[in-house]
């Protein structure tokens, strides 16, 4: 069973940018919808691309909800997920080569946020300071992202969120979520990951 799950999650479908599981679900649903589209108003490529993003996001939410209940850390996990998602939307970050890998990786990060937060509770100011520094240096993420027009605005918003946690919320969970996302802003070589799958 573990081997089957690992194969399903990790294997990329014939070199496509989407993972096997997400691609299969999107393709199946696309074909079903197109069969119902008697007026031929829908374009297969656009529909399939949109469904991939929806399925990718939906799988992350579903797995996070299930695992947060199992670990009995629902509120903390959801808080971490929201902060990670907000910072990702504002600042961007590295991409992964497969949608399935994206789901697995993102869910893993979200689930461990509460544990990281509790483990480093006494060092949350240090984490926030490092996040602040990383956002100044690398945010927003500029590889394959269209943030040029509002580059400074996104950077300022990210810094405001970090500052708010330092002086107002003082939450170790928020510190952990922001720090994890800030790490994903770091890049060293030009053009890396430009064509890889965005985790959302």
The pTM for the full model equals 0.77
Asked if 175 contacts 117 with a C-beta cutoff of 8 angstroms, the reply is yes
DSSP state of 15: G
Asked if 132 contacts 159 with a C-beta cutoff of 8 angstroms, the reply is yes
Please write the tens of the pLDDT for every residue from 84-119.
Answer: 999 999 998 887 888 888 899 999 999 999 999 999
Please write the tens of the pLDDT for every residue from 179-192.
Answer: 999 999 998 755 44
């Amino acid at each position: 069973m573990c081997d089957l799950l690992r194969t399903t999650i990790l294997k990329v479908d014939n070199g496509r940018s989407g993972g096997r599981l997400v691609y299969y679900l999107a393709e199946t649903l696309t074909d079903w919808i197109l069969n119902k589209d008697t007026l031929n108003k829908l374009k297969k490529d656009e529909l399939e691309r949109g469904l991939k993003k929806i399925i990718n996001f939906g799988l992350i939410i579903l797995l996070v909800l299930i695992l947060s209940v199992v670990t009995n850390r629902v509120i903390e996990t959801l808080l971490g997920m929201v902060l990670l998602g907000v910072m990702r939307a504002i600042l961007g970050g590295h991409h992964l080569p497969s949608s399935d890998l994206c789901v697995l990786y993102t869910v893993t990060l979200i689930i461990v946020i509460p544990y990281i937060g509790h483990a480093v509770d006494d060092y949350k100011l240090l984490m926030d300071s490092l996040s602040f520094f990383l956002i100044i240096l690398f945010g927003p993420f500029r590889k394959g992202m269209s943030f040029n027009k509002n580059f400074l605005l996104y950077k300022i918003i990210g810094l405001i969120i970090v500052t708010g946690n330092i002086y107002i919320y003082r939450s170790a969970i928020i510190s952990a979520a922001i720090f994890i996302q800030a790490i994903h802003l770091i890049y060293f070589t030009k053009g890396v990951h430009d064509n890889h799958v965005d985790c959302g």
